[in-house]
Amino acid sequence: MSMPTNLEIAELLAAAGDSADEYRRRAYHRAAGAALTWPEEVASLRDAGTPLSSLPQIGDRLAARIEGWLDDPPEVPEPPPSRAGFVTLAWARARLAEDPDWADQIRGDLQMHSNYSDGKHTLGEMTVAAASRGYSYIAITDHSGGQPVPPGMNVPAMKRQQNEIDRLNAAMDGDGFRVVKGIEMNLDPEGVGDVAHDDLTGFELVLGSFHSKLRVTDDQTPRYLAAVRNPSVDVLAHPTARRYNRRPSLDADWPAVFKAAIESGTAVEIDSHPHRGDLPLELIRVAVEAGVMFSIGSDAHDPEELGFLDVSLALALDGGVDPDRILVFKDVDDVLAWSSR
């Protein structure tokens, strides 16, 4: 039996946590979530002599447990729905290495957050970090303020942020870099945004996303149809609302949702955070068949998380997405022309 991958190690850790006491359960589950974000396969790290205890969320005891799994690979249990269908950052980077020309097409990142909402860094710090990655543009998409979690911006804060972006763009004039004024607007269960249409004036890209009633199990097609038909929404963000080991995807008639998105001119996001990976691969393939436009965003809340973009790129590559259907493969002028159509 081959040594377990990071994804399999994540499941072994999570499964061990499922049957542990509360303290150990939380430690195992934190480690399982971290395993999705490790940039290299653990087996390769051990071969290189790297102590596994140096990995995030891994102490000496968990490192010894993982060493045991590498030496004597166990059978990996079938994951429950809340952990099924995810990929790891290590897998994504290995997949992209097989086709390096694919990632070279990227020109920007269309979802990230600053401390105007729940990000950890200033708008300027996120901009500098993104520019250093060789992008020609980013969209800052902090949350709207219609719900307590995640915290967001009220209308005055939106205006302050837009003014700050104007100053940043003026300062970078001539550098070939553009900060797009975006927002991640919360959608209620009926697909209605929590920001009045007039208050969205000045934003160049509006992501719409669900942050409430995310654990319901009945069919949610009507809320999705309303969301993609909402005239204020340019992109349906992290569409299924799944989160690793917290909740599975919402259920919907996805071919019907994608058809409505095409008719409405709404793009569908592949959210890069490994705890989301949303759209998942199986739905990317359904969306490809439908012919949707895809948006890709790291959903970074700090500069280090900008690297998560590799997850979306690898999912799009593996899912057979046409490069012409990916917004971040286009120039910023083309993206803005599309969003303002």
Q: Does residue 276 form part of some domain?
A: yes
In this structure, are 321 and 250 located in the same domain? Answer: yes
Q: Which of 56, 79, 102 is the last residue of a domain?
A: 79
Q: Does the pLDDT value for residue 1 go beyond 80?
A: no
State whether 47 and 101 are in the same domain. no
CATH number at residue 124: 3.20.20.140
Q: What is the DSSP letter of 200?
A: G
Number of domains in the chain: 2
**What is the arithmetic mean of pLDDT over 34-61?**
96
Asked, for residue 270, whether it belongs to a domain, the answer is: yes
For residue 39, tell me if it sits in a domain.
Answer: yes
Same domain, 21 and 119: no
- Based on the domain organization, do 69 and 128 belong to the same domain? no
Identify whether residues 120 and 263 lie together within a single domain: yes
* CATH number for the domain that contains residue 64: 1.10.150
Closest by CA to 300, choosing from 120, 37, 161, is: 120
Q: Residue 235: inside a domain, yes or no? A: yes
Model confidence at 173, in pLDDT bands (50, 70, 90)? confident
Mean pLDDT of 104-127: 96
Q: What is the pLDDT of residue 151?
A: 84
Question: What confidence category does residue 205 fall into, taking pLDDT thresholds of 50, 70 and 90?
Answer: very high
Q: Residue 147 pLDDT more than 80?
A: no
For residue 88, tell me if it sits in a domain.
no
Per DSSP, 77 falls in state: P
Tell me the average pLDDT of the chain: 96
Does residue 64 sit in the same domain as residue 178? Answer: no
161 contacts: CB under 8 Å, gap ≥ 6: 114, 116, 123, 140, 142, 153, 181
Question: Do residues 69 and 158 share a domain?
Answer: no
Cα 2 → chain centroid: 30
- Residues 73, 20: one domain? yes
The pLDDT tens digits of the residues spanning 240-288 come to 999 999 999 999 999 999 999 999 999 999 999 999 999 999 999 999 9
Q: What's the pLDDT at 156?
A: 94
131 shares a domain with 27: no
> What is the model's pLDDT at position 311?
98
Q: Are residues 14 and 100 in the same domain?
A: no
Both 278 and 170 in one domain: the answer is yes
Burial class (CB in 10 A: 0-12, 13-18, 19+), 120: middle
Return the pLDDT at 10.
98
- Tell me what the mean pLDDT of segment 143-172 comes to: 91
Across 192-218, average pLDDT = 95
pTM of the model: 0.96
Calculate mean pLDDT across residues 51-69.
96
- Domain C-terminal end among 55, 79, 103: 79
Q: How confident is the model at residue 177 (pLDDT cuts 50, 70, 90)?
A: very high
Q: Residue range 323-338: average pLDDT?
A: 97
Helix (H) or strand (E) holding 181: strand 178-187
Of 22, 45, 79, which residue constitutes the final position of a domain?
79
Q: How confident is the model at residue 175 (pLDDT cuts 50, 70, 90)?
A: confident
Burial of 329 (0-12, 13-18, 19+ CB in 10 A): buried
Does 150 have pLDDT greater than 90?
A: no
Position 206 scores a pLDDT of: 98
In the block, residue with structure tokens 């569908």 = 268
Question: Which domain covers residue 203, as residue numbers?
Answer: 94-339
In this structure, the answer to whether residues 63 and 105 fall within a common structural domain is no
Query: Considering only 6-10, 210-214, 254-258, 283-287, which range has the smallest mean pLDDT?
Result: 210-214
Q: Is residue 174 part of a domain?
A: yes
Residue with tokens 């071919």: 255
**Burial of 302 (C-beta count, 10 Å sphere; 0-12/13-18/19+):** middle
End-to-end CA separation in angstroms for the chain: 54
Whether residue 174 is predicted with pLDDT greater than 80 in this model: the reply is no
Share of the chain above pLDDT 70, in %: 100
Which of 274, 205, 277 shows the shortest CA–CA distance to 239?
277
* pLDDT in the model for residue 120: 92
Residue 281 lies in a domain: yes
Q: Compute the CA torsion angle 333, 294, 34, 307 (nearest 10 deg).
A: -30
Q: Please report which confidence band the pLDDT of residue 149 belongs to, taking 50, 70 and 90 as the band edges.
A: confident
Encode pLDDT of 308-319 as tens digits.
999 999 999 999
Whether residue 89 is contained in a domain is answered as: no
